[in-house]
Structure 1
Amino acid sequence: MRSLKARLTVVAALWVVAGVTVAGFLLSGTFKNFLIEQFYHEIHEHLDEFEGLLEIDDTGKVSLQRVLSDPRFSVPLSGYYWEVQQHGKIVARSNSLEGPLLKVPEDGGADAQVHMHSIAGPTGELLIAERLRWLDDKKDPIRIIVGIDKRHLDRELGEFNTVLLWSLGIFCLSMIAIAILLLLFAMAPIGKLRTAFANYRSGVTPNMRGAFPEEVQPLIDDLNSLIASSGEQMQRARAQAGNIAHGLKTPLAILVDEAHRLMQRGDAQAAAVILDQCRRMQSQIDYQIARARAAASRVHPGTASSLSDTAAAVVTALERLHIERHLKIDNQIPAGMMVACETQDLNEMLANLIDNACKFANACILIRLGEDAPSDFVRVVIEDDGPGLPPEAWSVVFNIGEQWDTRKSGSGLGLPIVRDLVHLYGGEVRLGRSELGGLMVLLDLPTFAANGRT
């Protein structure tokens, strides 16, 4: 489970469920003990009332001055019973009681104290209070028993547990819902932070903007300071690259001029060596400046470009450049395709690759999206119907200043620059054989969604 919201929600739900479950057991147990105590207290009251109404005549016949105040003692098998025993026989019993003698446990009290027992009754388990009473003219005491069926206790306890279960269940769900709402409210600044970062990366805002809590604002301030510092470093890198180019331009021009003078003096061999070395130095300078500019631009996180728009612009420019050759450039890149590259870098990569295809193509160039691209990458395929390259040349042409066909104009820097640029973005460029008969270039670029925007 990788989602922080999901983790916190599960933990909060488990904690609430555990707490409510423990509370439910404690409340149910407490109420049960209270209910049992109340039942025994009620039995005691009935026992006291029964003894107050008890009359025994000279013949030993037991009777009551009046019926007990609770009418359930008169309803057959109501669960409310009383019985008077002597010598192990029934002397009298309530109208509600039927069946054999109520059997008091062997450890029943032999004193005048009230004793509580749980015995088998005519309608189930029976909670009783019993007491011995000695009469003046009798040697053997009588046993007075008053009991209430335990099913009444179980029914009330079951009703309470049902209400308790529903109440705690609703309370538990409400607490989980509140916890989820609190988590969503607490995590909202993270969503705003992500949106602010996505807006910055896409170039909508120059830095991370938004209203954030005071606990998050210091982090935003530090990130904005880092962004500003990175921008300054990028500008310095680009300025430094320009200064290097400007500083070396004059010495190289002087060397080239001296080489031409040597050639005019008749020293063609020395002039050719100097011109060749100057060309190599110029190629290295151009390559390193381009690479430094690309690396500096990659430091800036605002990398979002339209692949379809950039490809269309490059195709339009190259169609005008090669108008006399009547080349057909078929651009099949769908509209709305975004990649996580700066527009200038993307333009340079596409321009180099499509221009190479135009130089060697006979009549047509195809630009499309390829299949089997790596996860979070989009594959751009550029094909032509030219002579192509043999497999042994596919790696050689990526070397700086190398050209397989020297008859075509070029510095040998296009493919190396494309390779270094795409590597800076985590992508890859490869060559292969096109079904059109010429060269096929596979360019893997990171999609913009893979870089965190939602």
Structure 2
Amino acid sequence: MLTSDPAIPAPQPRASLARRMGFIATAWIIVLLLGGGIALERTLTSQVQANFDEQLEYQLTAMISSAEIDSFGEVWFYRSLGDQRFLEPGSGLYWQIDGEGYEPYPSRSLWDTPLQLRGVIEDGAGGFVDEPQFYDSAQFEGEPLRIAERTLILPGSDTRWTFAVAAATEERDNQIQRVRFILFWSFAVLGLGLIGMALLQIWYGLSPLRRVRAAISKLRTTGENRITEPLPTEVQPLVDEVNALLEHTERQAEEARMHAGNLAHALKTPLTVLTNAATAKDPNLNQAVFRETRTMQRHVDHHLARARAVGRRAVGQARTNVRQSAEAVRRAVERLYPNGRLDIAGSRDALVAIERQDLDEIFGNLIENAAKYGGGSVFVTIDHEPDADQCVIWVEDDGTGIPEAERTRIFDRGARLDTGKPGTGLGLAIVRDVVEIYGGSVTLDESEDLGGLLVELRLPRA
């Protein structure tokens, strides 16, 4: 019962190469710009904050340098602080002086709402911190403040005075928002531009692949058999492999056509004989059928052996140990000819670029022929010339050999010198065809050691 091969599922398309590259480029650009933008935003924000604090410290220093102690032990300014905002209520710029045992002394801009200051900060050693301190305050509803204060003792007084300057942070916050706004849109435009350039680069960079696709499509529609369009060096190896595959496919197709033609031609004569015998009601029809069907069977076996070798060769680069194949065949032949002697010598590690089944068939035909037609001794030498480019194998026997004039004809299909022994006459023909399919050669000579036939194989090394 014949069963059809299960349908091979069509390969599912994977993610687009351009889409994958675009995703990676986009993600990388976003990560870089996001990281750079955050770092730059923090740097600029810190700089805005530092500038704001510098202005407060400048005002604080100017206020301290203008302060003196009067005859009543209180602080007064011997010169104006200069900034008119200190005189305008709710202007957003304030100062205040606190002294131990004294009421807070605020600027006019504070009006009647004094600042809540941190005051003296003890240093833990009986003294206090005499450095400007900066901090944010939300004590005025709706008006966040940044306060700079410093505690010190003025000349002519033992009181620790705390000087403070406060400014509304609205201007600082507005500057930070402007910086962030500019950074966001600048980096957004830059990112979109970079992503657009990356996508354009991907589209342009992959254009050779589109040209390859168009060239392959052109092979189907125009009948051309090679891709000849010049392409970048990165894509050219792919084109070379495609061309090599096309050449290999053409060669296989040509071989298939040739084998089909040869088989048809070989079967034509036996079929004609059978047809004529049947039409003429030949009394020897049975003998004719038997004879011609054996002829057809030889032709079919021969072409099947070639087809199997060609198919296995197309699968890929094979690596077969010669000694293992020869030993396996020897064990099989020794069971058929138990009285013979079969010796194998030479390399145990020699490898050839032939499928194991085909090498077994080669050895099977040669060793069985040597055992059948020889005098009982068969000698196989593996890698007879270790330095040769190809692996040289000798198969010798002690039979009568083959006359030199017959050594070419013996490779023909069905050729037999000894018709008294069973056989089809295809053994050496199959050996020659299989060896040549793999790029090797086979020759016949006379064995100097055994006196019979010497078959020399030259097979490609793996």
Secondary structure of 2:163's match?
strand
Aligned partners of 1:222, 1:78: CA distance in 2, in Å? 81
Aligned partners of 2:91, 2:51: CA distance in 1, in Å? 19
> Does 1:174 pair with 2:193?
yes
> In the alignment, residue 223 of structure 1 is paired with which amino acid?
V
Alignment of 1:290-439 (within 5 A): none
The residue number in structure 1 matching 2:65 is 52
| Structure 2 residues not aligned, in runs of 5+ | 1-13, 123-127, 315-462
> Does 1:80 pair with 2:93?
yes
Alignment of 1:223-242 (within 5 A): 223-242=242-261
> In the alignment, residue 78 of structure 1 is paired with which amino acid?
S
| Deviation for aligned residue 1:73 | 3.1
> In the alignment, residue 157 of structure 1 is paired with which amino acid?
I
The residue number in structure 2 matching 1:196 is 215
Aligned partners of 1:119, 1:248: CA distance in 2, in Å? 108
| Deviation for aligned residue 1:130 | 1.9
> Does 1:25 pair with 2:43?
no
| Structure 1 residues not aligned, in runs of 5+ | 300-454
CA RMSD of aligned residues (A): 3.6
Identity %: 27
> Does 1:161 pair with 2:174?
no
Deviations 1:283-324 (A, max 9, x none): x99xx99xx9xxx9xx9xxxxxxxxxxxxxxxxxxxxxxxxx
Q: 1:107 to 1:21 in 2, by over 3 A?
A: farther
Aligned partners of 1:107, 1:85: CA distance in 2, in Å? 10
The residue number in structure 1 matching 2:131 is 113
| Deviation for aligned residue 1:165 | 1.0
Aligned partners of 1:100, 1:134: CA distance in 2, in Å? 25
Alpha carbons 2:88, 2:109 under 8 Å: kept: yes
The residue number in structure 2 matching 1:350 is none
Structure 1 length-normalised TM: 0.54
Deviations 1:75-117 (A, max 9, x none): 4323221112224655543332234221222563535433333
Aligned partners of 2:226, 2:112: CA distance in 1, in Å? 91
| 2:147 alignment partner, one of 115, 128, 146 | 128
Aligned partners of 2:119, 2:231: CA distance in 1, in Å? 78
Deviations 1:16-54 (A, max 9, x none): 222222222222222222222222222111112222333
Q: 1:6 to 1:88 in 2, by over 3 A?
A: farther
Alpha carbons 2:66, 2:77 under 8 Å: kept: yes
> Does 1:209 pair with 2:222?
no
Aligned partners of 1:142, 1:106: CA distance in 2, in Å? 9
Q: 1:194 to 1:75 in 2, by over 3 A?
A: farther
Alpha carbons 2:119, 2:162 under 8 Å: kept: no
| Deviation for aligned residue 1:240 | 2.5
The residue number in structure 1 matching 2:354 is none
Secondary structure of 2:108's match?
coil
194-203 or 100-109, which deviates more: 100-109
> In the alignment, residue 146 of structure 2 is paired with which amino acid?
L
The residue number in structure 1 matching 2:50 is 37
Aligned partners of 1:111, 1:234: CA distance in 2, in Å? 97
Q: Alignment length, in residue pairs?
A: 283
